[in-house]
A and B are shown apart, each in its own frame.
Chain A
């Protein structure tokens, strides 16, 4: 039988690498073993998730007017949509988009400013953080 042709069809079925998905699943200490169907389904579900997160954030985000998908669209989704709430920790709401862009500019200039440094404080007082960390 044409094995090469079969695996070609499978590439259309799922495009994320199963071996990598397995490594991520196995990094969870309580998991002992995963059968091939479960591995395939998780990979496929992750693809559907990426599509859904992207389209949801685009539709509900402000970037739509500018024909763009931005980080703040995503953090907005994590904050507003209950289904995506589990992402709130890794997609923290940052600062106003305009300030964020300014910060990026500065970041390019001095190449030193790290996002991590700001994360804890910026929710409290945006102006202060922008002023404090970037030194404007």
Chain B
């Protein structure tokens, strides 16, 4: 995938909001500190992806899954993230399930969806991925 270098940055406004929410009220965050944290976050994503990918490779899988990411956190010495991540994942899965059922009711395409899911392990299923992308875009717009 050919991406522009700026595509590897995370949105500054969101990063700033996360920092502000984490620090006590009224702490001034310098511009350099913000962009440094933003860069650090991108590097974190790449580092985590690479660690997670090693676990997937060990398991002879092509698709990164939740377990791979959680193992990566332990390996990276971010064990403290594992419990909150598991909690969030449960909530997320419940939401996704609710959404999927809502969609199934709508367009009655339950069967084809299940098939997409099982094929995802072996090949890059573009249709499903497009669908996810669309879904994500909607979520961002809502934000």
Contacts and interface: CB of A to CB of B under 8 A. Distances in A.
> A and B: partners?
yes
Interface of A: 1, 3-4, 6-11, 13-21, 23-28, 30-38, 40-42, 44-55, 57-58, 66-71, 73-75, 82-83, 86-87, 90-91
Interface of B: 1, 3, 7-8, 10-11, 14-15, 17-19, 21-23, 26-30, 32-33, 36-37, 39-50, 52-53, 57, 62-66, 68-70, 73, 76-78, 80-81, 84-85, 88-89, 91-93, 95-96, 98-99, 101-102, 105, 120, 124, 129, 132-133, 136-140, 142-143
Given A15-B18, A50-B37, A83-B77, A40 B30 contact: no
- What is the interface of chain A mostly: helix, strand, loop, or mixed? helix
Interface centre among A51, A53, A69 (most CB of B within 10 A): A69
Given A10-B95, A13-B92, A74-B36, A31 B53 contact: yes
Among A1, A54, A74, A91, find the residue whose CB has the most chain B CB atoms closer than 10 A.
A54
B142 A8 contact: yes
5 contacts: A32-B124, A35-B66, A45-B69, A50-B19, A54-B37
